[in-house]
Amino acid sequence: MEKFVINGGHPLKGEILVSGAKNSAVAILPATLLLDVPCIIENVPDISDVEICLKILKGLGAEVKPLNQQGDTYWISCRNVSDFYVPYKEAKKMRASYYFLGALLGRCGNARAAMPGGCSLGARPIDQHLKAFEILGAKQLIEDQQSDIVELHAESLRGGNISMDVVSVGATMNAILAAVKAPGITIIENAAKEPHVVDLANFLNYMGANIKGAGTDVIKIEGVKKLMGNAGEGSTVDYRYSIVPDQIEAGTFMVAAAATKGDVIIKGVIPKHLEAITAKLIDCGVNVEELDNMDAIRVSVENKKIFCPTNIKTEPYPGFPTDMQPQMATLLTIANGESSIMENVWEDRFRYVHELRKMGAEINITQNGAVVRGGDLLTGACVNACDLRAGAAMIIAGLMANGCTEITEIQHIERGYADIAKKLRGIGADIVKI
Ligand code: EPZ
């Protein structure tokens, strides 16, 4: 079983490049099923969730060609796709497999996939996704709750008014996928506003969709017949779309730079997407500055700096991202005082606390959150990556701790962070994968 081995205590220094956003790529790749022309997707992160998406696309009959050595650019044509059954094995490996439901429904009115797998953060219902699909005219063909298969069929999709009961990234994006070619007008109220929601809408609009309001809580979609870009029939133009930088990977590197009292320039970012993370780091006494070329951010901390405690409340975007909660908690283990964390998105996102306690962290789980009592530097230990972002927190803990840390179950980490050990070695970390 592979693991990361980290010798901590080295301040991270240098420049690090952020990859394309995982949570954007896992929606935009399925969205190519809606297109009537081939397209080229750039800045695709080299992570296992993307590998699964591409495997599913090929399994459905799509042609997928890597266009460069780095493995971040793909030519994709879904012209020959005739199937709508998402392979069970692949669908169970990741949460985002549900985007194939919306894309296939939008493409051909049929879709069948296993209920998604992915990080265990508590119950991960998809009732809002199904509600949106039903409003757009789809029927669920498999009713028994025991089976973990979802099969949808729509005689004909049509626009409708969808008011989400909870702000849901996945349900918002799935509603967009199913509605872009549905005749009529679709309104999505209480929509999620994350950067990856906007990225999906931008991609589809670039290919000829009519989506307004992405990034706000009301999205209006006018169904179009074809998604073939603006070059018209028979054109040979290459439609190229570049995925936005990963807000959470960038935030993870920001916290790692701060926690090791380093000085790191994080490149290829959109600073606006990082505002909630930047604000909290500045609260703790970290220097964060947007560099004048605007696609980079510098995080630095004086060696003797003692961090101030702060309070974290996770919220949908633009609030503090839940996907940054474990990483921030790790930094707060060395703040000078008590910090409180309220996790308002997921009911079970504190499994990493048990692992941090092995390294000496003093964290109490309260009714609906945690209290982190800042103290001495953590001590290296053998810990487990419980899920993707908990694994990222373990890496930060290992980088800042005295001594050696071993992290197991690293497949969770590699689902969402491309080449993370290599990238961190590039800024002075002593981390190897064995
Ligand atoms: C996406 O998950 C992300 N995953 C998660 O990131 C992220 O934590 C989450 O959004 C919130 O930002 C992907 O994009 C692949 P939600 P998603 O639907 O879409 C409830 C990571 O680390 N809900 O926004 O599954 C749900 O229980 C992963 O990259 C319903 O009740 O999250 C939760 O409490 C972890 N019914 C809240 O809404 C539904 O039908 C937000 O969930 C859907 C969701």
Rounded to whole angstroms, the Cα distance separating 415 from 428 reads 23
In angstroms, what is the span from residue 73 Cα to ligand 1's centroid? 27
Ligand 1 pocket residue status of 131, Cβ below 6 Å: no
Q: Is the CB of 154 under 6 A from ligand 1?
A: no
Binding site membership of 199 for ligand 1 (Cβ less than 6 Å): no
Report yes or no: 254 and 3 within 8 Å, Cβ to Cβ.
no
Instruction: For ligand 1, say whether the CB of 14 is within 6 Å of any of its atoms.
Output: no
Residues of the chain with pLDDT under 50: none
Cα–Cα separations (whole angstroms), residue 402 to 10, 74, 180, 380, 396: 9, 42, 53, 6, 12
pLDDT score for 115: 79
Look at ligand 1, atom 42, and give the residue with the nearest C-alpha.
168
HSE on the CB side for 30, CA within 13 Å?
Answer: 32
**Which token pair is 297?**
């951010």
Determine the distance from the C-alpha atom of residue 222 to the mean position of all C-alpha atoms in its chain, rounded to a whole number.
27
The model's pLDDT over 92-122, given as tens digits with 9 standing for 90+, comes to 888 899 999 999 999 999 999 987 666 667 7
- Main-chain phi, psi angles of 238, to 5 degrees: -90, 110
Q: Which of 95, 197, 328, 351 to mutate to test the pocket of ligand 1 (most atoms within 8 A of CB)?
A: 95
pLDDT at 231: 72
pLDDT at 124: 75
DSSP assignment letter at 37: S
Residue whose CA lies nearest to ligand 1 atom number 26? 124
Q: How far is the CA of 222 from the centre of ligand 1 (A)?
A: 26
pLDDT in tens, 388-428: 999 999 999 999 999 999 999 999 999 999 999 999 999 99
Instruction: Give the pair of three-digit tokens for residue 200.
Output: 């999906």
Task: List residues with catalytic annotation.
Answer: 119
Q: Are 45 and 268 in contact (CB under 8 A)?
A: no
- For ligand 1, atom 10, the nearest C-alpha belongs to 169
Burial letters 315-352, b for 16+ CB under 10 A, else e: ebbeebbbbbbbbbbbbbbbbeeebbbbbebbeebbeb
* Residue whose entry in the numeric block shows the structure tokens 């991202």: 321
The tens digit of pLDDT for each residue in 242-256 reads 999 999 999 999 999
Question: What is the pLDDT at residue 392?
Answer: 98
Q: Whose CA is nearest to atom 19 of ligand 1?
A: 170
